[in-house]
Amino acid sequence: MEVLLEKNSPTLASLKVKLSKDDYQPKVDKTIKDYSKRVNLKGFRPGKVPSHVIQRMYGKSILVDEVNNLLSNAVSSYIRENKLQVVGDPVPDREKAESVNWDSPSDFEFSYNLGVATDFEVNLSELPAVKRYTINVDDAEQTKTIESLRERFAETTHPETSEAGDILYGELKQESSEFTTRTAIPTKQLNDESLAKFIGAKKDDVITFDIQKTFKDEAAIAHVTGKKKEDTAELSGDFTLVVEDVTRQAPSELNQEFFDKVLGAGQVESEEQFNKKLLEIIKGNYERETEALLRRDIEQSLLDNIAIELPGDFLKNWLEKTNEGKFTREQIEEQFGDFQKSLKLSLIKNKIADTEGIKVDYPEILEFTRNMVKGQFGIYGDDENMKETIDRVAQGYLADKERDNYTSVFNQVFDNKVLDVIRNQVSTDEQTVEVSEFEKLAKGEEAEA
């Protein structure tokens, strides 16, 4: 077997694979023998079908399969061993492939077109400094978070008389149109002019109101009536609500029950401990946000300072062919800029991983998934009672082959490990900013000087 690479340009190449009969015939003969032992044909004892019969019936298809297997292994091995920066998939030369005479096998020659990225070096220590932000978390931010948590874990009561902020439940109807439905009307969705009608309401009270003049917007009308937003304009005139119940969300008290709901049972035993733990969590959350921004800025710095050329037309043709029926050429052209950025970043990160010997093991993947599940459950501490459930959910998530969750998490863990290496070698410009300034930066705006 002979494999030859010909560079046609800095980003295009062709790979020629020459096979002699000695390369494929032993494999073909072995497969034919295996067939003769396994195939059941009328007139022959099981496992005793003569090889020449198998050759006559299946020889050509066996030859094609074995040659294709050899070609696939030869191409992938050559690319891997020579560390070619191949992008997209090798594309077979159809003309040359169609000219092969499978009925008179001898020496074969096949050709593949390759798209390749130009050579590049990654010198992380030479990259310009990247800004790294620390967010100043003050008492006001902590108070705001506590109030938000108190609302989140609010207690529901059923007062006799309604007040602003309550929700009124009951039957909404309009006799003239024969409209009727059971609904809930949050007083927060009422406009200022109509609010007074719904304050002081009790069970069995009847409230009459103009459907178009009572609520803040169309979305509120849709919510109350169950109609689609675009259909609410068809509603008009007076409607009545027969009140059946009033509910009120009272912010949770700062007590042990609240602390356990937020942090997990037994994590803290006093308001002082709660505030301290919560401050750690707030800072940790903001640190994750600053890390996300740092990641974005590092990736942009890699793209700005490492020059890589890609075979644009080759990749567009490849994308169009592999996504046939899913994307039009116009859509591919429109999104190609983002695709190129993603591909360049992947090439850079893979080179760093190869240089640094970065690997990802299953325990790392499982631990990442555990933390992801804990975040979805809203578990801030290490709740012993939930560990078994979290493990079961995490393992089930990774086992979902239909969504290919394992690969998705593997890629995230791999990406994180590569970014850790980059962070340790790229210099940073440390800056402290307020929450409002950071929010602007995260949106791509400039912070105040």
**Phi/psi class of residue 244: alpha, beta or left (left: φ > 0; alpha: ψ in -120 to 50)?**
alpha
- 127 near 236, Cβ under 8 Å? no
**In terms of domains, do 426 and 387 share one?**
yes
For residue 69, the enclosing domain spans 2-116
**In terms of domains, do 167 and 37 share one?**
no
**In terms of domains, do 169 and 80 share one?**
no
Is residue 150 domain-resident?
A: no
Structure tokens at 47: 């496992």
pLDDT-based confidence at 448, cuts 50/70/90?
very low
- 274 near 248, Cβ under 8 Å? no
Is residue 301 domain-resident?
A: yes
pLDDT in tens, 371-411: 888 877 766 556 666 788 888 899 999 998 888 999 999 99
Is residue 138 domain-resident?
A: yes
pLDDT-based confidence at 178, cuts 50/70/90?
very high
- 24 near 31, Cβ under 8 Å? no
**In terms of domains, do 23 and 172 share one?**
no
Is residue 448 domain-resident?
A: no
**In terms of domains, do 22 and 89 share one?**
yes
**In terms of domains, do 20 and 97 share one?**
yes
Is residue 383 domain-resident?
A: yes
**In terms of domains, do 301 and 351 share one?**
yes
pLDDT in tens, 191-213: 999 999 999 999 999 999 999 99
Contacts 24+ apart (CB under 8 A), 396-401: 397/369, 397/373, 398/365, 398/366, 398/369
Residue 241 CB burial class (10 angstroms; 0-12, 13-18, ≥19): buried
**In terms of domains, do 98 and 180 share one?**
no
Contacts of 264 (CB under 8 A, 6+ apart): 379, 380, 381, 382, 383, 386
Asked if residue 101 has pLDDT above 80, the reply is yes
**In terms of domains, do 81 and 225 share one?**
no
* Interatomic CA distance for residues 111 and 320, integer angstroms: 21
**In terms of domains, do 411 and 265 share one?**
yes
pLDDT in tens, 331-370: 999 999 999 999 999 999 999 999 999 999 999 999 999 9
**In terms of domains, do 290 and 405 share one?**
yes
For residue 365, give the CATH number of its domain.
Answer: 1.10.3120
Q: In the chain, helix, strand, coil percent, each to 5? A: 50, 20, 30
* Interatomic CA distance for residues 186 and 190, integer angstroms: 7
Find the mean pLDDT for residues 424-447: 82
pLDDT in tens, 264-298: 888 899 999 999 999 988 888 888 889 889 999 99
pLDDT at position 193, please?
A: 94
**In terms of domains, do 233 and 289 share one?**
no
pLDDT-based confidence at 82, cuts 50/70/90?
very high
Q: Provide the domain count of the chain.
A: 3
